[in-house]
Amino acid sequence: MLREYSQDESDLVERDRVFYLIATCEVPEDKRYGPVGFSGVDLGTITTLTDYQVAGPDPNRHRKCHGDLRE
């Protein structure tokens, strides 16, 4: 199959007692298809935090509390 797309360039490489044939081929691209619909769901989530202690509408309140404890 690749013989028809070959550009007459190839290398024979030996690595760790295994031979590899590296060939340069020009293969035409398939037709591109546009999206028919959509995928994915937007739930309108405000926060992206997943930790149970700081999840919610005001995670900075939790950070400030711990920051005050460190000082």
- pTM listed for this prediction: 0.33
The rounded distance, in Å, linking the Cα atoms of 66 and 62 is: 6
pLDDT at res. 34: 76
Q: Are 35 and 46 in contact (CB under 8 A)?
A: no
Which of 6, 40, 51 shows the shortest CA–CA distance to 63? 51
> Token pair 């739930």 is at which residue?
43
pLDDT in tens, 25-42: 888 888 887 777 777 776
